[in-house]
Structure 1
Protein backbone atom coordinates (compact mmCIF):
# COMPACT_ATOMS: atom_id res chain seq x y z
CA UNK A 1 0.00 0.00 0.00
CA UNK A 2 2.79 2.43 0.86
CA UNK A 3 4.67 1.64 -2.33
CA UNK A 4 1.78 1.29 -4.76
CA UNK A 5 -0.96 3.76 -3.73
CA UNK A 6 -1.60 7.34 -2.68
CA UNK A 7 -3.82 6.12 0.18
CA UNK A 8 -0.97 7.18 2.45
CA UNK A 9 1.48 9.96 1.76
CA UNK A 10 4.40 8.18 3.42
CA UNK A 11 7.01 6.62 1.17
CA UNK A 12 8.86 4.69 3.87
CA UNK A 13 7.70 1.06 3.89
CA UNK A 14 7.16 -0.58 7.27
CA UNK A 15 8.94 -3.78 8.18
CA UNK A 16 7.49 -6.55 10.34
CA UNK A 17 9.64 -5.16 13.16
CA UNK A 18 8.17 -1.67 12.68
CA UNK A 19 4.66 -3.09 13.01
CA UNK A 20 5.66 -5.11 16.10
CA UNK A 21 7.00 -1.93 17.71
CA UNK A 22 3.82 -0.04 16.84
CA UNK A 23 1.68 -2.81 18.35
CA UNK A 24 3.76 -2.77 21.54
CA UNK A 25 3.84 1.02 21.97
CA UNK A 26 0.12 1.35 21.28
CA UNK A 27 -1.05 -1.89 22.85
CA UNK A 28 -4.17 -0.19 24.25
CA UNK A 29 -4.96 1.40 20.88
CA UNK A 30 -4.18 -1.28 18.30
CA UNK A 31 -6.59 -3.94 17.04
CA UNK A 32 -5.98 -6.68 14.47
CA UNK A 33 -8.56 -8.51 12.35
CA UNK A 34 -7.76 -12.19 12.00
CA UNK A 35 -9.58 -14.43 9.52
CA UNK A 36 -8.64 -18.11 9.36
CA UNK A 37 -5.36 -17.46 11.18
CA UNK A 38 -4.24 -14.61 8.93
CA UNK A 39 -4.20 -10.86 9.44
CA UNK A 40 -6.68 -9.11 7.13
CA UNK A 41 -6.37 -5.67 8.67
CA UNK A 42 -5.54 -3.48 11.60
CA UNK A 43 -6.51 -0.19 13.15
CA UNK A 44 -4.57 2.05 15.49
CA UNK A 45 -5.30 5.42 17.04
CA UNK A 46 -3.46 8.05 18.99
CA UNK A 47 -3.22 11.72 19.82
CA UNK A 48 -4.70 14.05 17.23
CA UNK A 49 -2.51 16.96 18.36
CA UNK A 50 -0.26 17.68 21.32
CA UNK A 51 -1.53 19.54 24.36
CA UNK A 52 -4.16 18.98 27.03
CA UNK A 53 -6.93 20.63 25.02
CA UNK A 54 -6.85 17.76 22.52
CA UNK A 55 -6.64 14.84 24.96
CA UNK A 56 -10.17 13.68 24.09
CA UNK A 57 -9.58 13.62 20.32
CA UNK A 58 -7.82 10.78 18.52
CA UNK A 59 -6.72 10.27 14.93
CA UNK A 60 -6.91 6.76 13.57
CA UNK A 61 -5.35 4.75 10.76
CA UNK A 62 -7.05 1.68 9.38
CA UNK A 63 -5.60 -0.70 6.81
CA UNK A 64 -7.45 -3.73 5.52
CA UNK A 65 -7.11 -6.35 2.83
CA UNK A 66 -9.66 -5.38 0.16
CA UNK A 67 -12.93 -7.29 0.07
CA UNK A 68 -12.39 -9.29 3.27
CA UNK A 69 -15.06 -7.37 5.22
CA UNK A 70 -12.95 -6.56 8.25
CA UNK A 71 -13.10 -2.77 8.05
CA UNK A 72 -16.48 -2.15 9.68
CA UNK A 73 -15.80 -4.59 12.53
CA UNK A 74 -12.38 -3.06 13.19
CA UNK A 75 -13.70 0.50 13.10
CA UNK A 76 -16.66 -0.29 15.38
CA UNK A 77 -14.44 -2.11 17.89
CA UNK A 78 -11.93 0.75 17.86
CA UNK A 79 -14.65 3.34 18.46
CA UNK A 80 -15.99 1.36 21.44
CA UNK A 81 -12.51 0.95 22.92
CA UNK A 82 -11.55 4.59 22.25
CA UNK A 83 -14.80 5.76 23.87
CA UNK A 84 -13.96 3.69 26.97
CA UNK A 85 -10.59 5.50 27.03
CA UNK A 86 -12.32 8.89 27.16
CA UNK A 87 -12.07 9.75 23.48
CA UNK A 88 -14.87 12.08 22.39
CA UNK A 89 -14.02 12.53 18.69
CA UNK A 90 -12.25 10.27 16.20
CA UNK A 91 -10.55 11.95 13.24
CA UNK A 92 -9.49 10.44 9.92
CA UNK A 93 -7.02 12.09 7.56
CA UNK A 94 -7.73 10.61 4.12
CA UNK A 95 -6.11 11.18 0.74
CA UNK A 96 -8.63 12.90 -1.53
CA UNK A 97 -7.79 10.22 -4.11
CA UNK A 98 -8.89 7.43 -1.77
CA UNK A 99 -12.58 7.44 -2.66
CA UNK A 100 -13.09 3.99 -1.12
CA UNK A 101 -11.92 5.20 2.31
CA UNK A 102 -13.98 8.38 2.05
CA UNK A 103 -17.14 6.37 1.30
CA UNK A 104 -16.31 3.83 4.04
CA UNK A 105 -16.03 6.55 6.67
CA UNK A 106 -19.21 8.27 5.44
CA UNK A 107 -21.12 4.98 5.84
CA UNK A 108 -19.89 4.78 9.45
CA UNK A 109 -21.19 8.25 10.32
CA UNK A 110 -18.05 10.30 9.76
CA UNK A 111 -18.57 13.74 8.22
CA UNK A 112 -16.17 15.77 6.12
CA UNK A 113 -14.83 18.47 8.40
CA UNK A 114 -11.87 19.76 6.42
CA UNK A 115 -10.19 19.90 3.04
CA UNK A 116 -6.49 20.75 2.96
CA UNK A 117 -5.38 21.36 -0.63
CA UNK A 118 -2.01 20.04 -1.75
CA UNK A 119 -0.62 19.21 1.70
CA UNK A 120 0.58 15.73 0.68
CA UNK A 121 3.19 14.91 -1.92
CA UNK A 122 3.78 11.52 -3.49
CA UNK A 123 4.93 10.27 -6.87
CA UNK A 124 5.90 13.82 -7.83
CA UNK A 125 2.36 15.13 -7.35
CA UNK A 126 0.57 17.29 -4.79
CA UNK A 127 -2.44 15.57 -3.19
CA UNK A 128 -5.27 17.00 -1.10
CA UNK A 129 -6.06 15.70 2.38
CA UNK A 130 -9.64 15.30 3.54
CA UNK A 131 -10.38 15.39 7.26
CA UNK A 132 -13.40 13.48 8.50
CA UNK A 133 -14.58 13.17 12.09
CA UNK A 134 -17.21 11.56 14.25
CA UNK A 135 -18.30 12.18 17.83
CA UNK A 136 -18.18 9.10 20.03
CA UNK A 137 -19.62 10.48 23.26
CA UNK A 138 -22.62 12.74 23.43
CA UNK A 139 -22.26 15.71 25.82
Structure 2
Protein backbone atom coordinates (compact mmCIF):
# COMPACT_ATOMS: atom_id res chain seq x y z
CA UNK A 1 0.00 0.00 0.00
CA UNK A 2 1.17 3.51 -0.84
CA UNK A 3 0.24 6.63 1.12
CA UNK A 4 0.67 9.76 -0.96
CA UNK A 5 -0.78 13.23 -1.53
CA UNK A 6 -4.07 13.18 -3.43
CA UNK A 7 -4.11 14.32 -7.04
CA UNK A 8 -7.09 15.79 -8.90
CA UNK A 9 -7.28 12.64 -11.03
CA UNK A 10 -8.09 10.70 -7.80
CA UNK A 11 -11.29 12.69 -7.35
CA UNK A 12 -13.65 10.19 -9.01
CA UNK A 13 -12.43 7.32 -6.82
CA UNK A 14 -12.60 9.52 -3.70
CA UNK A 15 -16.15 10.55 -4.66
CA UNK A 16 -17.09 6.89 -5.00
CA UNK A 17 -15.85 6.13 -1.46
CA UNK A 18 -17.51 9.24 -0.02
CA UNK A 19 -20.85 8.86 -1.78
CA UNK A 20 -21.15 5.17 -0.92
CA UNK A 21 -20.77 6.12 2.74
CA UNK A 22 -23.21 9.04 2.42
CA UNK A 23 -25.85 6.83 0.75
CA UNK A 24 -25.52 3.75 2.91
CA UNK A 25 -24.41 4.65 6.43
CA UNK A 26 -24.85 6.90 9.42
CA UNK A 27 -21.08 7.52 9.51
CA UNK A 28 -21.79 10.97 8.13
CA UNK A 29 -24.91 13.00 8.78
CA UNK A 30 -24.86 14.57 5.34
CA UNK A 31 -27.21 13.42 2.61
CA UNK A 32 -25.67 15.53 -0.15
CA UNK A 33 -23.34 13.59 -2.41
CA UNK A 34 -20.09 15.14 -3.62
CA UNK A 35 -19.08 15.45 -7.24
CA UNK A 36 -15.59 14.61 -8.49
CA UNK A 37 -15.26 18.27 -9.51
CA UNK A 38 -15.91 19.45 -5.94
CA UNK A 39 -13.41 16.96 -4.58
CA UNK A 40 -10.80 17.97 -7.18
CA UNK A 41 -11.17 21.59 -5.98
CA UNK A 42 -10.66 20.44 -2.38
CA UNK A 43 -7.53 18.55 -3.42
CA UNK A 44 -6.15 21.64 -5.18
CA UNK A 45 -6.95 23.89 -2.20
CA UNK A 46 -5.67 21.56 0.52
CA UNK A 47 -2.52 20.28 -1.16
CA UNK A 48 -0.57 18.01 1.18
CA UNK A 49 -3.44 18.13 3.68
CA UNK A 50 -5.28 15.63 1.45
CA UNK A 51 -3.67 12.18 1.56
CA UNK A 52 -4.79 8.95 -0.11
CA UNK A 53 -4.06 5.27 0.36
CA UNK A 54 -3.50 3.45 -2.90
CA UNK A 55 -3.59 -0.33 -3.25
CA UNK A 56 -2.94 -2.02 -6.59
CA UNK A 57 -3.43 1.29 -8.41
CA UNK A 58 -6.77 2.06 -6.75
CA UNK A 59 -7.59 4.61 -4.02
CA UNK A 60 -8.91 2.66 -1.02
CA UNK A 61 -9.07 5.48 1.50
CA UNK A 62 -8.27 9.08 2.20
CA UNK A 63 -7.65 11.54 5.01
CA UNK A 64 -7.88 15.30 4.85
CA UNK A 65 -8.46 18.29 7.05
CA UNK A 66 -9.98 21.72 6.81
CA UNK A 67 -10.95 24.55 9.11
CA UNK A 68 -12.31 23.68 12.52
CA UNK A 69 -14.03 27.04 13.07
CA UNK A 70 -13.63 30.46 11.54
CA UNK A 71 -11.65 33.26 13.11
CA UNK A 72 -7.98 33.78 13.85
CA UNK A 73 -8.18 32.21 17.31
CA UNK A 74 -8.76 28.82 15.68
CA UNK A 75 -5.95 29.12 13.13
CA UNK A 76 -3.98 26.23 14.63
CA UNK A 77 -6.87 23.76 14.91
CA UNK A 78 -8.24 21.62 12.08
CA UNK A 79 -11.07 19.13 11.74
CA UNK A 80 -10.19 16.01 9.81
CA UNK A 81 -12.02 13.37 7.82
CA UNK A 82 -10.81 9.84 7.24
CA UNK A 83 -12.83 7.42 5.11
CA UNK A 84 -11.98 3.95 3.82
CA UNK A 85 -13.41 1.78 1.08
CA UNK A 86 -14.23 -1.79 2.20
CA UNK A 87 -11.05 -3.11 0.57
CA UNK A 88 -8.98 -0.63 2.61
CA UNK A 89 -10.27 -1.81 5.98
CA UNK A 90 -8.39 -4.19 8.28
CA UNK A 91 -5.03 -3.52 6.61
CA UNK A 92 -3.63 -0.70 8.73
CA UNK A 93 -4.82 1.81 6.13
CA UNK A 94 -6.43 4.13 8.64
CA UNK A 95 -3.35 4.19 10.86
CA UNK A 96 -1.06 4.89 7.91
CA UNK A 97 -3.31 7.70 6.69
CA UNK A 98 -3.64 9.38 10.08
CA UNK A 99 0.14 9.20 10.63
CA UNK A 100 0.74 10.87 7.27
CA UNK A 101 -1.92 13.51 7.93
CA UNK A 102 -0.49 14.29 11.38
CA UNK A 103 2.97 14.72 9.87
CA UNK A 104 1.61 17.20 7.33
CA UNK A 105 -0.37 18.98 10.04
CA UNK A 106 2.69 19.42 12.25
CA UNK A 107 4.67 20.79 9.31
CA UNK A 108 1.88 23.31 8.67
CA UNK A 109 1.75 24.51 12.27
CA UNK A 110 -1.45 22.69 13.25
CA UNK A 111 -1.62 22.21 17.01
CA UNK A 112 -4.90 20.27 17.37
CA UNK A 113 -6.74 17.83 15.12
CA UNK A 114 -10.44 17.44 15.86
CA UNK A 115 -12.66 14.50 14.91
CA UNK A 116 -16.45 14.85 14.83
CA UNK A 117 -17.68 11.24 14.85
CA UNK A 118 -21.18 9.84 14.59
CA UNK A 119 -22.02 7.92 17.75
CA UNK A 120 -23.40 5.31 15.34
CA UNK A 121 -19.78 4.59 14.33
CA UNK A 122 -18.18 2.91 17.37
CA UNK A 123 -15.37 1.56 15.18
CA UNK A 124 -14.23 5.10 14.38
CA UNK A 125 -14.39 6.08 18.05
CA UNK A 126 -12.24 3.06 18.97
CA UNK A 127 -9.84 3.78 16.09
CA UNK A 128 -9.33 7.39 17.16
CA UNK A 129 -8.78 6.37 20.79
CA UNK A 130 -6.20 3.81 19.65
CA UNK A 131 -4.23 6.48 17.75
CA UNK A 132 -4.16 8.92 20.65
CA UNK A 133 -7.33 10.99 20.35
CA UNK A 134 -9.22 11.85 23.53
CA UNK A 135 -13.01 12.12 23.80
CA UNK A 136 -13.78 15.71 24.76
CA UNK A 137 -17.54 15.78 24.36
CA UNK A 138 -20.76 14.32 23.12
CA UNK A 139 -23.46 16.44 21.54
CA UNK A 140 -26.81 14.66 21.76
CA UNK A 141 -29.17 14.79 18.77
CA UNK A 142 -27.30 17.43 16.73
CA UNK A 143 -27.48 15.34 13.55
CA UNK A 144 -30.51 14.12 11.66
CA UNK A 145 -30.58 11.49 8.93
CA UNK A 146 -33.10 8.90 7.79
CA UNK A 147 -35.67 10.17 10.27
CA UNK A 148 -33.37 9.70 13.27
CA UNK A 149 -31.70 12.12 15.66
CA UNK A 150 -27.99 11.34 15.97
CA UNK A 151 -25.31 12.14 18.53
CA UNK A 152 -21.93 13.58 17.63
CA UNK A 153 -18.84 12.50 19.57
CA UNK A 154 -16.01 15.04 19.62
CA UNK A 155 -12.45 13.80 19.93
CA UNK A 156 -9.19 15.67 19.66
CA UNK A 157 -5.47 15.10 19.56
CA UNK A 158 -2.92 17.70 20.55
CA UNK A 159 -0.01 17.30 18.17
CA UNK A 160 3.30 17.43 20.00
CA UNK A 161 6.25 18.77 18.05
CA UNK A 162 8.58 15.98 17.07
Q: Which runs of 5+ in 2 are unaligned?
A: 1-20
CA displacement at 1:70 relative to structure 2: 1.0
1:60 and 1:90 in contact (8 A); partners too: yes
Distance, in Å, in 2 between the alignment partners of 1:102 and 1:54 is 24
Structure 1 position 36, deviation (Å): 1.0
Match of 2:81 in 1: 61
**Cross-structure match for 2:141:** 118
TM-superposed CA distance for 1:16, in Å, is 2.1
Q: CA deviation at 1:87?
A: 0.6
Q: Is 1:114–1:132's contact at 8 Å kept on the other side of the alignment? A: yes
Q: Secondary structure at the match of 2:116?
A: strand
1:69 CA displacement: 2.9
Residue 71 (str. 1) matches residue 71 (str. 2): no
SS in 1 for 2:44: helix
- Root-mean-square deviation (CA, aligned residues, Å) is 1.1
Match of residue 157 from structure 2: 134
> Residues 30-54 of structure 1: CA distance to partner in whole angstroms, max 9, x if unpaired?
0111111000101110111111111
SS at match of 1:120: strand
CA distance in 1, matches of 2:115, 2:33: 20
1:106 Cα deviation from its structure 2 partner: 0.5
Q: Secondary structure at the match of 2:22?
A: coil
| Aligned length in residues | 138
Q: What is the CA-CA distance between 1:18 and the residue it aligns to?
A: 2.3
- In structure 1, the partner of 2:121 is 98
| Structure 1, unpaired ranges of 5+ | none
